[in-house]
Amino acid sequence: MPMPSPPQRSWPIGLLVLLAVAGVLYGLMLANASYKPSGGGEASLEAALEGLFLTAALWIVLAIMIVVGAVTGAMPGWAGGLAGILIPASGVANFTAVDMCSRHMPWAIVFPVLLAPLIAFYAFWMGWKRLHAALPAERTSVAVWASVFVLSVATFVLAA
């Protein structure tokens, strides 16, 4: 007698929990990026270290979200390899942009505002069957990873 398969959930609960954690880190990171410490070098160093910690923590959560999304959904093989390169690179670009904000370049907040949501969207696209069915795999993967690449490279070019 065949065993009935367990019912599939319509909402990706694991990704939602990770999104909540990422959302808190994202909000703290953006607040840190817009914070202008008064005082000398010690306050600036403390803000920079806090920005580094928040960015690293957020990008670890985003990487976990991508892994969870890839396990529960479907990711083109080439996109997995690209994600392995672009997620760490975009984390460094994000920290660079946060540092640019602290150096009186407030327009650089655009990069942190866009990078994390793009990666989180891709994780949800993979893990949420309804969204995955609505958007084609190749086009979605190209659009997201090309955007992450362009934003990361632009951050490095503008920082130089």
CA-CA-CA-CA torsion sign (51, 56, 58, 62) = positive
Residue 105 has a CB neighbour count (10 Å cut-off) of: 13
Q: What is the pTM of this model?
A: 0.85
- The predicted-structure confidence for 127-147, as pLDDT tens digits, reads as follows 887 887 888 888 999 999 999
Residues 145, 82: contact at Cβ < 8 Å? Answer: yes
- How do the residues of the chain divide into helix, strand and coil, expressed in percent and rounded to 5? 80, 0, 20
- Measured distance CA(97)–CA(151) in Å, rounded: 10
- The predicted-structure confidence for 57-70, as pLDDT tens digits, reads as follows 999 999 999 998 88
CA-CA-CA-CA torsion sign (119, 123, 124, 129) = positive
Helix or strand run (H / E) with residue 114: helix 110-127
User: Closest Cα to residue 128, out of 36, 56, 65, 59?
Assistant: 65
User: Closest Cα to residue 108, out of 36, 159, 160?
Assistant: 159
| 104 vs 95, residue with greater confidence | 95
Residues 67, 122: contact at Cβ < 8 Å? Answer: no
Average pLDDT over residues 50-79: 88
CA neighbours closer than 13 Å in the CB half-sphere of residue 21: 15
Average pLDDT over residues 88-96: 94
